Chains A and B, each alone.
Chain A
């Protein structure tokens, strides 16, 4: 894979205090990205990572499966591959190159994968969870598709700040954790606010016939947490790192099961 000529149109997307500069020769595509990540744009002078994007016509040569993804590291270079994109990223140099179909969905997937790798090195992760800030603390609501993440976000009281209804961004903050807003949304079709707060409680969602919060054993919490961490790399060492991060998270963060009826009364039991 060769490095393309530097493009003139730049945009810097900062999520979780990790600025990533994206550079494309295509002004229109830059504008599409600007619309997609509105609220998460920043000055690119202090970017952790810089990617040159080469847009190509539909990538028929790139394989058959539009979902199967390969993420692997060789000699300090991360290689990301899916039917609609190829990307390389030199960790040490903080530079990368993307060859992709001209759709922001490809860039979006690459950004998600890159952030899982950035976070893995510092004890954090992306979690399949809705998150919001209430009374100065971040609350997480985790569960697989259909568990109620969007529903709980939609029912949140007016004094709640939405961080995401789909993908939550967790970073270590000393011995505690901090949740950040993300532009990655689910059914709500609205990005989160670009802000952060110390993490309060993680709730695992279950739909039921009453609203109640129950304590869960740490072993179950760890299992549920691991089910919902986003991670794509086929790297045994990094998998161990993620597992250790999850275990430390379970040790330090309050976790409960939230069974709920889908109406606004659920928020009266959430503390």
Chain B
């Protein structure tokens, strides 16, 4: 219960940081944005006005005390509602309100390098996303391979030869 309260207050603090115009850095944990984002990626979130969010942006929103980073796929201007979906999910989220919206991802750090996330999901990635979405054993296998690769991206065989 204490841990839950602490997590909730952390999330509220993070939301407050963004709303005050500062940057926030979060570690990606989930799999809903594969293959665009991977568990362990470090995301830099910038506070922007909801009107400035564009189709293709990866946006951060908070719902029921949890953070979500999903892709903005449409805007319903009249209601200032955002339509979002995880790249690896088959269905969209419930529309995101301006109150839930916190900012957008401007930088991803992975394996020691940084890059700005691409606003479009290429055909190749779309196919990968659909495969990972519909075949959970494939997703588990891919994540397992990725975790091993992340832990040993240098040539370990070389190291073992010399030991």
Contact = CB atoms under 8 A, between A and B. Distances in A.
B54 interface: no
B119 to A, nearest CB: 8
Nearest to A227: B152
Interface in B145-163: 150-156, 158-160, 162-163
Contacts of B23: 189
B124 interface: yes
B115 A112 contact: no
A146 B147 CA distance: 12
B139 interface: no
B107 to A, nearest CB: 5
Contacts of A229: 154
Nearest to B158: A243
Interface residues of B, number: 33
Contacts of A261: none
Given A64-B124, A66-B118, A189-B23, A222 B159 contact: yes
Nearest to B153: A227
B157 to A, nearest CB: 10
A195 interface: no
B13 interface: no
A219 interface: yes
Most buried by A among B109, B113, B156: B113
A226 B124 CA distance: 32
Contact of B163 (A69, A189, A223): A223
B36 to A, nearest CB: 9
B113 A227 contact: no
Contacts of A167: 112
A186 B125 contact: no
A70 to B, nearest CB: 13
Contacts of A50: none
Residue in B42, B111, B154, B162 whose Cβ sees the most chain A Cβ within 10 Å: B154
Interface in B72-88: none
A69 B114 CA distance: 11
A219 B163 contact: yes
A105 interface: yes
Contacts of B125: 64
B134 interface: no
B27 interface: yes
Nearest to A218: B163
Nearest to A103: B116
A69 B117 contact: no
B115 A223 contact: no
B151 A66 contact: no
B110 interface: yes
Contacts of B163: 218-219, 222-223
Interface in A119-151: 126, 128, 144-146
Contact of A67 (B40, B115, B156): B115
Nearest to A143: B151
9 contacts: A67-B115, A84-B115, A105-B114, A112-B112, A126-B112, A146-B40, A223-B156, A226-B156, A230-B112
Interface of A: 64, 66-67, 69, 82-84, 101, 103, 105-106, 108-109, 112-113, 126, 128, 144-146, 166-167, 186-187, 189, 218-219, 222-223, 226-227, 229-232, 239, 243, 246-247
- 3 closest Cβ pairs, A-B complex: A219-B163, A230-B112, A145-B40
Given A144-B40, A223-B156, 15 more contacts: A66-B117, A82-B115, A145-B150, A146-B27, A187-B25, A187-B42, A189-B23, A189-B44, A223-B163, A226-B159, A231-B154, A232-B113, A243-B158, A243-B162, A246-B159
